[in-house]
Structure 1
Amino acid sequence: MGSVHHTAAAKMGGDVQSVLRFLASLPKAELHLHIEGTLEPELMFELAQRNHALDSLPCKTLQEMKAAYNFQDLQSFLNLYYAGCAVLRTDQDFYDLTMAYLRRAKADNVVHTEIFFDPQTHTQRGVPLKCVIEGIHRAQEEGQRTLGITSCLILSFLRDLGPEAAMQTLNEAEPFLGHITGVGLDSCELGFPPGVFQEVFQKAKTLGLKRVAHAGEEGPAQYIWEALQKLDVQRIDHGVKCLEDRKLIESLEASEMPLTVCPLSNLELKVYSGELEKRMSELLSTDLCITINSDDPAYFGGYLNQNYLWLIQNLGLDSQRVVDLHANSFRASFLSQDAKTQHCEALAAAYKQAA
């Protein structure tokens, strides 16, 4: 952590391919990834054809779909995101979706990932929760066996559907807790403060589940305070609006509370529109526990290494700072302490070899 460095070219070579080779050499973890947000247009159309669901798509061709990825804000993105989810109908669909992400993550040398999924997006369409979880879990098992990627699953509540619907979803998920590590809170943030979900998160804690929440992406810094104080979260997802509150930054630094920051997502959704580079530089100049993630990479133009590349190109991070951010992700994960230590040692060895 600490100040941003500005010698990327000297440390990693001046061209993009050199930087990407350096990034690919480093093992990494991803902690903020929505599996539905990895649905590439090609797979979307393939699943729509398989399920005779072409009429459910908002666009009729790949070209139209790609052109539609011009979002004005979080809600305009979510409208397209939920429409694309309509092609996901069987456990095989969720397996194929998850395996496609894991194979792409392998190319970025991701060795551990903590995957969000939105059960309500599917159950309200009549897709059984069992189908969703078992399809994803089957891919997780294969991903560990064939790709060497460990993963855990985080059930996210759609905040705009309210706390009663969230509690119902948590109750329905109890038979599958062996496949679920934690709960989260996502979807449209403005007007849906974290505090109204306090009872749901208290129950999740009693069930032994980890707790995270989207806060301070488009919503104010106050939402981050609420997530900490009322939901007892162990990570803040996004959290970039903490810059609006110096006392909040000091509290987050003191507690070493991780933030799962998603640069390309913030860029595409126009968070801090016009001054994202400045704000991201401010964020990385604090002593906050920042982790870098891709959020919804199929929609936002880049998987994990592309997010690091953007930071290097726009903020001039040097190689040591990049490695520090990688280490933050392992330390902030829900892995065991022994696994965290092993991954950090492997990261250090890879960096030494690449230097």
Structure 2
Amino acid sequence: MCKSPLHNFLASLPKAEHHIHLEGSLEPELLFSLAAKNNITLPVSTDASFASPASLRKRYSAFANLDDFLAYYYIGMSVLLHAADFEALAYAYFAKAAAQNVRHAEVFFDAQAHTRRGVALETVVDSFKKAQVRAEKDFGVSSELIMCLLRHLPLSSALDTFGLARGKGYFRDGTLRGMGMDSSEVPFPPPMWTELYEAAREEGIRTTCHAGEEGPPGYVSQALDLLGVQRIDHGVRALVDGDDALVARLAASKTLLTMCPLSNVKLNCISSMSEFPLRRLLDAGVRFSINSDDPAYFGGYILENYCALQETFGLSIRDWEMIAKGAIMGSWCTEERIAKLLVEVEDVVEEWARQFEEQ
């Protein structure tokens, strides 16, 4: 818990999350439980970190870079085999998110990481959908599912997986709200994926792309110009190293950046929380949201990210109102849902603003 006087306000503030990998919410305890249930042997003989949930969590605190993290990320998801596993994973995230007052979540999953292990796409998607329905009923959390494709695999694999999802009607019926791309960034720049994104545009599918996490600001421009994405996941290098013209372009276009502060620090994309470009985002009027990325690996869900920024930058209630509303307005849910969530934010902000005025 942060020591800021605004902690309870941050906890109560209605939140929208747009950058959460469901596989990245696989806590070590659930990982070990599913490994035992599914007779999966974890590589403890070559990596002592897998001796226990505690030792694995300790290893997660010291990633050298993105690829170091991804090695553990892919080992972790190997324990997910059956429909019940995927549903349990997603529902556990929604329960945690609801406890931190996430009111709307747009969640990623890595389709190829499962289909290439022999798990059917419908097993993954239909199980996540069941968890979404349960979460809306149990917690009032609305959600959208976004299929991410993996940069480190060939374009042909991405096209095949995209075609499989399209053929099953998942985009047409709204089961999948959009398509994104993640995994190793630097060796696989946006121009490699123009054919994939052209196919998505032809189908009228909303798209996003991880860009500018470890890659240079130019990757953000390429994702916008060559891939035609409506959203940028991360984009931190564009705000730390990018020129004013790029920042102004992001602000003018109202392109949502899905920012992940704890992740950026854990993966050494920025040297410390103080380097996170929060003031530049706010001063330039760039629309962004604050997200947890892979919370089981990076030591914090969305509230912990909010608190880390508050302790570093000392934001006001009105600053947080701007952040919360910007995130909601950048969501891919219905206009009716957006309007309702904006009212919820206003109600909480006004309540807490009065409390501080009375002190």
Whether TM-score is above 0.5 comes out as: yes
- Deviations 1:222-252 (Å, cap 9, x if unpaired)? 1111110111111100011113222211111
Matched with 1:160 is: 152
Q: How does 1:203-282 map to 2 (within 5 A)?
A: 203-243=199-239, 244-274=242-272, 276-277=274-275, 279-282=277-280
- What is the CA–CA distance in structure 1 between the aligned matches of 2:238 and 2:123, rounded to whole Å? 38
Give the secondary structure class of the aligned counterpart of 2:127: helix
Distance 1:264 1:311, change over 3 A: same
Give the secondary structure class of the aligned counterpart of 1:214: strand
Q: Which amino acid aligns with 2:40?
A: A
Q: Give the drift of 1:77.
A: 0.5
TM-score by length of 2: 0.91
Matched with 1:38 is: 25
Matched with 1:3 is: none
Matched with 2:283 is: 285
Matched with 1:339 is: 337
Among 181, 192, 202, the alignment partner of 1:196 is 192
- What is the CA–CA distance in structure 2 between the aligned matches of 1:31 and 1:139, rounded to whole Å? 17
Which deviates further from its counterpart, 18-27 or 69-78? 18-27
Is the 2:31–2:79 Cα contact (8 Å) retained in structure 1? yes
Which deviates further from its counterpart, 230-239 or 54-63? 54-63
Q: Which amino acid aligns with 2:56?
A: M
Is the 2:274–2:312 Cα contact (8 Å) retained in structure 1? no
Give the secondary structure class of the aligned counterpart of 2:149: strand
- What is the CA–CA distance in structure 2 between the aligned matches of 1:253 and 1:126, rounded to whole Å? 43
- What is the CA–CA distance in structure 1 between the aligned matches of 2:56 and 2:102, rounded to whole Å? 28
Give the secondary structure class of the aligned counterpart of 1:54: coil
Q: Give the drift of 1:45.
A: 0.7
- What is the CA–CA distance in structure 1 between the aligned matches of 2:295 and 2:313, rounded to whole Å? 21
Matched with 1:62 is: 53
Identity %: 39
Is the 2:281–2:287 Cα contact (8 Å) retained in structure 1? no
Q: Which amino acid aligns with 1:254?
A: A
Q: Gapped runs of 5+ residues in structure 2? A: 354-359
Distance 1:342 1:279, change over 3 A: closer
Is the 1:183–1:211 Cα contact (8 Å) retained in structure 2? yes
Among 134, 138, 151, the alignment partner of 1:142 is 134
Q: Gapped runs of 5+ residues in structure 1? A: 1-13
Q: Give the drift of 1:141.
A: 0.7
Give the secondary structure class of the aligned counterpart of 1:213: strand
Matched with 1:84 is: 76
Distance 1:18 1:47, change over 3 A: farther
- What is the CA–CA distance in structure 2 between the aligned matches of 1:351 and 1:309, rounded to whole Å? 17
